[in-house]
């Protein structure tokens, strides 16, 4: 979390900490807790237990992870976490770590269970398994196995290969399961998680989007005071909701700045100027910076460098806008000290922040910020996933056209061109993108997919035949994906007739394009954007 912003959790919020042991599902656990209307945050396993406890969590969840508890250098946890009186729920590696730390037995037998596995519940009336069928399938992913529970624990479930697949200690309020209840492949997994939260930890399900709005409005007012703020408005749902929240908190002390950097999709500048202002009544300043951005990106092909250049130029344009806004206000105008950004939790995580994970890619609003930033940041969405942001937007009364808009990256089409960014290439990609969006809307698929990035492989050419002649044109990539939060995604199985119509129109109507290909890669291993 940036030192320039206050803790995003209001003091009265009940918080569950998800301790990340390098699990691919850590973010999913946090989401599932929030779906149960309980606020959650992810912390790295390297965080000292004293620091975790100092945050006064109502419960702690230990995630899975790729390590064996017997590996040299495998993550460990101070026993004090289990003796602090805070309810703890271990999953997979977290379960084994709890077992071995408290005196149970974990065997490195080589007996592996991966995928859907039948679970036999021996205590169907227990805290975790009340009302859950005695036989159901769960998602396993482990090599080691717990053969004996620690003293004071009751074994509540097993599998054919694992004698202790779940255990509970109601007196100490410690619970654990060998499997992954957070994934949809585990039957009744959300019910098990909610049983821990509500029954084991005694947390009331009170965290709602209404709470988020009230808490953030209070935090924004406390942070900004009577000063002025500007917001970088892209027209996307993230910046729109962030602006609406800040506008609710400080009213006409906010000026939204829309940077027309020439990297937007067809018709989007006009949409921002018309729809968002009409919906919110905010003050909007439009800055034409197309030439500036193209000059800065000239000759640059490296995706990380492009992101950082775009982030840097955004800030410089905001500084210019700041000076103009102050000048326009006259000698009695207040200073503009705050910059509002629509940064989301996935942006922070993928930029290497929040969980101690590696940097996957620098988001322009996280890893791309210059060191000499002259604003204090206001990031009211920094701890939210995309679907939660949409719900906050609905709570604020924003129109569906804005709230349900498909995600579009802050760096715009600049990172959907693989290669150097030029005006000619941007115009080409804009036309192809507009065709894809038109056909998806006509087919009624806008709500069926998360988004459909259209990518230009500018440095690639292939031979084609058009008009009985040889062509040597660029390929366009369609990347339709389905996701809930952008942390994971799967490619969308669009109807062949829709894909065929998009392909035909692009190759017929867009110059220098003679091939359309489909990206059918999930995330992981691929990211949603190509750059």
Indicate the pairing of strand 254-260 with strand 283-288: parallel
The CA distance from 399 to 29, in Å, is 30
Residue 155's pLDDT is 95
Greatest pairwise CA separation for the chain in angstroms: 80
Catalytic residue ranges: 92, 180, 182
Assess contact for 195 and 127: CB atoms under 8 A. yes
pLDDT in tens, 10-45: 445 789 999 998 877 788 898 899 999 999 988 999
The CA distance from 261 to 17, in Å, is 40
The CA distance from 487 to 59, in Å, is 24
Q: Which runs of consecutive H residues, i.e. helices, occur in 298-336? A: 303-329
The CA distance from 195 to 141, in Å, is 22
Looking at the DSSP bridge assignments, the partners of residue 135 are 120
Phi and psi at 138, nearest 5°, equal: -135, 165
E-state strands within 122-192:
135-142, 145-148, 154-158, 166-169, 174-177
The CA distance from 482 to 445, in Å, is 11
The CA distance from 197 to 88, in Å, is 10
Burial 389-418 (b: 16+ CB within 10 A, else e): bbbbbebbebeeebbebebbbbbbbbbbbb
Indicate the pairing of strand 113-121 with strand 105-107: unpaired
Q: Which residue has the tokens 């859950």?
A: 132
Query: How is residue 55 written in tokens?
Result: 């945050």
By the 10 Å C-beta count (0-12 exposed, 13-18 middle, 19+ buried), 227 is classed as: middle
Does a cis peptide bond (omega within 30 degrees of 0) precede residue 524? yes
Calculate the CA dihedral of residues 270, 363, 239, 14 and round it to 10 degrees.
Answer: 160
Assess contact for 479 and 435: CB atoms under 8 A. no
The CA distance from 271 to 350, in Å, is 29
Q: Which residue has the tokens 């700041």?
A: 322
Residue 505's pLDDT is 96
Calculate the CA dihedral of residues 311, 407, 26, 356 and round it to 10 degrees.
Answer: 0
Q: Which runs of consecutive H residues, i.e. helices, occur in 330-383? A: 345-350
The CA distance from 479 to 482, in Å, is 10
The CA distance from 55 to 42, in Å, is 12
Q: Which residue has the tokens 């990206």?
A: 519
Query: Which helix (H) or strand (E) covers residue 431, if one does?
Result: helix 423-442
Q: How many CB atoms lie within 10 A of CB 80?
A: 12
Helices and strands (H, E) in the chain, number of each type: 15, 22
- Count how many residues are written for the chain: 531
Residues of the chain with pLDDT under 70: 1-12, 109-114, 142-143, 329-334, 349-373, 467-470, 484-487
Burial 151-167 (b: 16+ CB within 10 A, else e): eebebbbbbeebebbbb
Query: How is residue 392 written in tokens?
Result: 């906050």
Degrees (nearest 5) of the Cα angle 10, 183, 77?
A: 60
Q: How many CB atoms lie within 10 A of CB 235?
A: 20
89: nearest Cα among 76, 98, 80, 77: 98
Residue 333 DSSP class = P
Query: How is residue 215 written in tokens?
Result: 């808490």
Conformational region of residue 296, where left means phi above 0, alpha means psi within -120 to 50, and beta covers everything else = alpha
Calculate the CA dihedral of residues 421, 425, 426, 432 and round it to 10 degrees.
Answer: -140
Query: Which helix (H) or strand (E) covers residue 472, if one does?
Result: strand 469-478
460: nearest Cα among 389, 394, 404, 517: 517
Assess contact for 527 and 461: CB atoms under 8 A. no
The CA distance from 414 to 436, in Å, is 18
pTM of the model: 0.68
Degrees (nearest 5) of the Cα angle 228, 236, 518?
A: 155
Looking at the DSSP bridge assignments, the partners of residue 25 are none
């Amino acid at each position: 979390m940036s030192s320039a912003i206050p803790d995003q959790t209001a003091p009265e919020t009940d918080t569950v900490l998800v301790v990340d042991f390098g699990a691919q599902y850590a973010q999913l656990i946090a989401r599932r807790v929030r779906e149960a209307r309980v606020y959650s945050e992810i912390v790295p396993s390297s965080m000292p237990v004293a620091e975790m406890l100092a945050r006064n969590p109502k419960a702690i969840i230990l995630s899975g992870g790729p390590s064996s508890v017997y590996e040299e250098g495998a993550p460990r946890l101070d026993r004090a976490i289990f003796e602090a009186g805070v309810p703890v729920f271990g999953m997979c590696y977290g379960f084994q770590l709890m077992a071995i730390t408290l005196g149970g037995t974990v065997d490195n037998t080589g007996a592996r269970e991966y995928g859907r596995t039948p679970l036999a519940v021996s205590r169907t009336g227990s805290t975790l398994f009340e009302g859950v069928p005695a036989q159901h399938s769960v998602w396993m992913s482990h090599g080691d196995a717990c053969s004996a529970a620690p003293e004071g624990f009751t074994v509540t479930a097993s599998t054919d290969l694992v004698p202790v697949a779940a255990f509970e200690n109601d007196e100490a309020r410690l619970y654990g399961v060998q499997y992954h209840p957070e994934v949809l492949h585990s039957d009744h997994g959300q019910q098990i998680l909610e049983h821990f939260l509500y029954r084991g930890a005694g947390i009331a399900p009170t965290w709602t989007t209404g709470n988020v709005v009230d808490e953030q409005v209070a935090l924004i007012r406390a942070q900004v005071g009577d000063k002025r703020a500007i917001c970088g408005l892209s027209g996307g749902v993230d910046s729109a909701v962030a602006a609406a929240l800040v506008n609710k908190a400080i009213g006409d002390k906010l000026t939204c700045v829309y940077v027309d950097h020439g990297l937007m999709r067809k018709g989007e500048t006009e949409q921002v100027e018309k729809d968002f202002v009409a919906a919110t009544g905010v003050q909007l300043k439009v800055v034409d910076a197309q030439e500036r951005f193209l000059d800065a990106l000239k000759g640059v092909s490296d995706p990380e460098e492009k992101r950082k250049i775009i982030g840097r130029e955004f800030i410089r344009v905001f500084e210019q806008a700041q000076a103009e806004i102050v000048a326009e206000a006259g000698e009695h105008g207040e200073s503009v000290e705050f910059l509002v950004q629509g940064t989301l939790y996935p942006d922070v995580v993928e930029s290497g922040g929040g969980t101690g994970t590696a940097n996957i890619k620098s988001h322009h609003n996280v890893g791309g910020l210059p060191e000499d930033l002259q604003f204090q940041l206001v990031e009211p969405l920094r701890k939210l996933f995309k679907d939660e942001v949409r719900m906050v937007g609905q709570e604020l009364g924003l129109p569906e056209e804005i709230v349900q808009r498909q995600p579009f990256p802050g760096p715009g089409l600049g990172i959907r061109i693989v290669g150097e960014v030029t005006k000619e290439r941007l115009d080409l990609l804009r036309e192809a993108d507009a065709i894809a969006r038109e056909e998806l809307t006509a087919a009624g698929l806008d709500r069926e997919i998360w988004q459909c990035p259209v990518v230009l492989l500018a440095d690639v050419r292939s031979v084609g035949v058009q008009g009985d002649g040889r062509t040597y044109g660029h390929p366009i990539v369609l990347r339709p994906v389905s996701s809930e939060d952008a942390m994971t995604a799967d490619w969308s199985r669009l109807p062949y007739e829709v894909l065929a119509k998009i392909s035909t129109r692009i190759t017929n109507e867009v110059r220098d394009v003679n091939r359309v290909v489909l990206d059918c890669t999930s995330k992981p291993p691929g990211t949603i954007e190509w750059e």
